[in-house]
Amino acid sequence: MDNKKVLIAGGSGFIGQKLTSLLIDKGFDVSTLTRKPKHTKDIFWNPKKKEINLSQLSEIDVLVNLVGENIGLGRWTKKRKKELVDSRVDSTTFLCEIAEKMPKLSYFISASAINCYGKESDKIHIESDDFGSNFLSQLIKSWENASDTLASKIPVAKLRIPIVLSENDGALVRIKKITNFGLGAPLGSGKQTMPWIHIADLCRLFAFAIDKKLVGSYNANAGLDSNKDFMKSVALSMKRPFFLPPVPSFLLKLIFGEQACIVLEGIKVSNEKIRA
């Protein structure tokens, strides 16, 4: 692997930290865009105020976009929805404006999300299928469209990411905390399909895409399980009981509001394109 210079926006997050470590191990020279620089490889930016020092970006070959507030945190109030949109669409738009001024930039890859296809049906979705009409699907559509403003200038890829599993962070840690108390149970009907990927596999996909300069959108799921099977597998791996009845959909909607769609509306997706 040649010593390409990679810049990661959102590199201080859960995925960004793991990806940074992997790319460094593979011989990349990795820097991070952050609002609070702490290390020599940290570069200050403030996407809300559109502030950045362009002189520090003149040697960058690859730009990785991982920006965005956590969709799973906070009830989707009008204010929270705006934060989710701004942190993805507006930040990505600014990032692409920056990218056009980076003389050596030859590749752009962005995180996206698997929830773009809308409500679950019997159809197994491929990347060319239409976006759904709900809030989350339309947010992802706008997010990807912002990335595609660079597509006429350099290769652009988007990885549509499902639930990311890790022993130390992310959704699995929260699920295990509940399961550890013997409270693991299916959510809603439990029949909804849950695409997932392990953090190590996701980071390897990013590295593979960078190496091969993949172009376009890719479903980045490793597996598909029903919510019931997934929750049961977690309980079995922890040697904890799994006997409680499903958590009713109405209760999840009452607690989480519109946000409950994340766990109640599954999605069947094909990963054949990324595996080809």
Tell me what pLDDT residue 138 has: 96
Indicate the pLDDT class of residue 253, thresholds 50, 70 and 90.
Answer: confident
Determine what percent of the chain is predicted with pLDDT higher than 70: 99
- Give the CA distances from residue 235 to residues 106, 170, 178, 231, 244, in Å, rounded to whole numbers and listed in that order: 45, 17, 10, 6, 12
Q: Which of 114-123, 205-214, 225-234, 250-259 has the highest mean pLDDT?
A: 205-214
Residue where the block lists tokens 């895409």:
209
Determine what percent of the chain is predicted with pLDDT higher than 90: 63
Tell me what pLDDT residue 71 has: 86
CB-based contact 234:165 (threshold 8 Å): no
Coil, strand or helix at 44: strand
CA angle 152, 156, 158 (to 5 degrees): 140
Tell me what pLDDT residue 124 has: 93
Tell me what pLDDT residue 208 has: 97
CB-based contact 8:33 (threshold 8 Å): yes
Domains and CATH numbers, the chain: 5-163+195-221 (3.40.50.720)
For the chain, the average pLDDT equals 91
Q: Does 1 score more than 60 pLDDT?
A: no
Tell me what pLDDT residue 92 has: 97
User: How far is residue 176's CA from residue 243's CA, in Å, rounded to a whole number?
Assistant: 16
Which DSSP state fits 128? T
Tell me what pLDDT residue 168 has: 79
CA angle 193, 117, 167 (to 5 degrees): 45
Mean pLDDT confidence for 127-142: 95
User: How far is residue 94's CA from residue 48's CA, in Å, rounded to a whole number?
Assistant: 9
pLDDT for 214-246, tens place per residue?
Answer: 999 999 999 888 889 888 888 888 888 888 888
User: How far is residue 106's CA from residue 157's CA, in Å, rounded to a whole number?
Assistant: 12
Tell me what pLDDT residue 57 has: 96
Q: Does 174 score more than 80 pLDDT?
A: no
Q: Does 175 score more than 90 pLDDT?
A: no
Tell me what pLDDT residue 75 has: 85
Tell me what pLDDT residue 72 has: 82
| Other C-beta atoms lying within 10 Å of the C-beta of residue 94 | 21
Tell me what pLDDT residue 37 has: 87
Tell me what pLDDT residue 2 has: 61
pLDDT for 55-96, tens place per residue?
Answer: 899 999 999 999 999 888 888 999 999 999 999 999 999 999
